[in-house]
Amino acid sequence: MSTTHKLACRYCIVTSRVDPASDTVLKKLIEISRLRNTGTYLFGSEVYKDPDERFYVISVPDDLLYVDYLENYVVTQLFIFVSRHESASRRPSLLTHVPGNWTDEARYGGRPRSICIAPPSNMLEALRTLHNLSREFGLEGWSISYEATHHGPYLEATPVMFIEIGSSEEEWRNEKAAEVLVHAIEAAIEAKQVKHVAVGIGGPHYAPKFTSIALREGIAFGHIVPEYVLEGISSNEIVMAVKRCSEVVTEIIFDWKGIKGGLRKRLYEIANELGKVHGFTVIKR
């Protein structure tokens, strides 16, 4: 398919042929969502669609962190990437986040100081479904959470979210986890826009405070800026986090205890001044 004839769909689920979690979820999607062949090939693989044509499923030959080229081939209102998650702890996990890099470092794809457009309500519904179904499917002890915005790819114009299975081969091949992810994908594409949309600032990578607030209070988080990058950001990155969101941000929420004392005052003052201009509330939690 040439770039002059782009694949057009409402939602696009992206899997990778070099990702074992992607492969497991794709098989479950075909089974549970009753995917059909479209007769179209993209990147050397069949394109699938669900019976109601709500979403298409494509498979790319590269790691999902490096598919910055997708918008040259697909027009959609949301990309949902299905991916493995790796961590040193190897803790079983079901996760969702937005791709992007806050600082000059872009070791794992994307561009320096560039973030994708976040889809907060879609991610909230995915998170809720991961949380609600994990026990039902026998995944007790698995960690369910947001992650901070991190890694590639970088897409300029289309909202993007990752849904991931972590953190080792055993979990990537777990069919129960894959089934939960399928239901999370379905929930994400059926999401209705919520009233309260937030940017989270501070705290660790797996954002336990913001995850808890989202599940308990129904606040949808877009970008999450973790504590470990805060020394390298300025007002530019905070404005970027607010603007690179598919919905209007109503509040910035600080994980107050999750920020070093020296940074709190500076960032809080910056956020308050920006809130006066952009119309959001700044909250300490």
Cα three-residue angle 110-114-117, rounded to 5 degrees: 95
Rg (CA), the chain: 18
Cβ partners under 8 Å of residue 107, min gap 6: none
Per-residue pLDDT at 144 exceeds 60: yes
3-state DSSP assignment of residue 207: coil
| Gap between the Cα atoms of 81 and 144, Å rounded | 17
DSSP state, residue 203: S
Pick the CATH number of 7-284 from 3.40.50.720, 3.30.200.20, 3.30.465.10, 3.40.630.50: 3.40.630.50
* pTM of the predicted model as reported, rounded to 2 decimal places: 0.97
Question: Is there a contact between 56 and 9 (Cβ–Cβ < 8 Å)?
Answer: yes
Closest listed residue to residue 156, CA positions, set 226, 97, 69: 69
pLDDT digits (tens, 9 = 90+) for 96-132: 999 999 999 999 999 999 999 999 999 999 999 999 9
Sign, CA torsion 226/230/234/235:
positive
Question: Is there a contact between 222 and 98 (Cβ–Cβ < 8 Å)?
Answer: yes
Residue extents of the structural domains in the chain: 7-284
- Cα separations (Å) of 111 from 37, 200, 283? 34, 21, 30
pLDDT band of residue 3 (cuts 50, 70, 90) is low
Closest listed residue to residue 197, CA positions, set 249, 253, 271: 249
Closest listed residue to residue 201, CA positions, set 132, 264, 127: 264
Per-residue pLDDT at 2 exceeds 70: no
| Gap between the Cα atoms of 79 and 107, Å rounded | 22
Predicted local confidence at residue 261, as pLDDT: 87
Predicted local confidence at residue 4, as pLDDT: 60
Mean pLDDT over all residues of the chain? 97
Sign, CA torsion 56/57/59/65:
positive
Say if strands 36-42 and 45-49 run parallel, antiparallel, or are unpaired. Answer: antiparallel
Predicted local confidence at residue 1, as pLDDT: 55
- Cα separations (Å) of 270 from 69, 118, 253, 273? 35, 22, 13, 5
pLDDT digits (tens, 9 = 90+) for 16-47: 999 999 999 999 999 999 999 999 999 999 99
